Structure 1
Amino acid sequence: MNSVGTLSLMSKHKYGSAGTLTLVEISFILASSLVIAFNLDFPYTREVMGGKEVSFMNFMITFVTAMFSIIPVRNASFGMSQDISDGTFMTFVQMEGKFKAFIYAYLMDVLYPISIFLVVGTLVLTLATLNYLWWAVESLTGYMFVANLSYTSSLVLRKTFRTFIGSVLSIFIYLAIIFLDLGSIALLAVIDVLLLSFLLYKFRCIEI
């Protein structure tokens, strides 16, 4: 089976036949909530320029990102971790080899959902004439932090329940970093790169 066929099979295995549509709907709802919340609090402006507007948008973006991050938490806990435990993942390993199988799984579990979210979200904000494209950077950085921590938990802990606990904790860690001002977007980006490097290492050396 070629790479496209493997990715298609993984997509159906992880999301079902209507998975893409569901991700689009969730992305639309969350992005629309940003617009609605901003309109309710700042009905007379379309520019996110002042301190109050920026602070409010940053708060809402963090909240929405945490909500959407439930998807990679679910994928890591009840997808990858479960597939490794029950041997389902070996099917993909036999088709593509271990490293490529993990890369494809990461693409479907982590990068595929956030790609849809960023495209749909940017479209919604653009149509609503909210000129704040920085939201995509904030969302991507926070999402990748939670997703990479969750995926790391799935490869290190392997058991579904333990992975779920570790993944949920990653959301609270992300919220604490932002709301308690324990770090910046730049710090999260650095951590994202380090976690991704660790995952690539684990993809090569992990024993299944």
Structure 2
Amino acid sequence: MGFTAAVITFPGSNCDRDMAVAIEDITGGTVHRVWHGDSDLPEGLDFIGLPGGFSYGDYLRSGAMAARSRIMQAVIAQAARGVAVLGVCNGFQVLTEAGLLPGALLRNGGQRFVCRDIALTVGTSQSLFTNGFFKDQRITIPVAHHDGNFYADADTLDRLEGEDRVAFRYAEPVNGSQRAIAGVLNDAGNVLGMMPHPERMIEPAHGGSDGRVVFESVLRAVGVSA
């Protein structure tokens, strides 16, 4: 049985096609495009992607309205069953607003939109999404966000670090995120939110292929053929 994924599109998403194309290219699997107003997800999913963009125009707070879209109840249910869920940029914001990940994404330090390739270090290689890297490996993946400043209280930050749930850190100043956190995992390890865009760095023509490893790691971890 081949790899099967779903990519959710919210009003204002602008990286949904990028993510779908990346998944298809890397896994050779089937990618279902799902509208935010749908009630159900396809059966037998291995992966769910929440893409970047500006869902609902970032009204209220980034990701707050999308987190209450009809389809998110199905996403939450699939995450509880152990399906891999990746939220990138606005998708990360949606995951925190939906309660699938701790913390919040605040306005960037300096109040400026940041859009460039940035250096990251891999916080853990012991996860569904990062098993293709080694710990402390330095990689390059682009960012494009205005509200990527990760915030959580000290106890939550200590718990994330103590439970090996910091997936990626910024290796250079980017947005003011506490403890330079760029991506975090849920306690079960099957949900990852990250501000950098791995789908934009999957082949040499993009300037590098470090982002490809995130998707390859999932494919390896779920143990299905492309």
With the length of structure 1 as denominator, give the TM-score of the two structures. Answer: 0.28
TM-score by length of 2: 0.26
From the two aligned structures, give the one with the greater helix fraction.
1
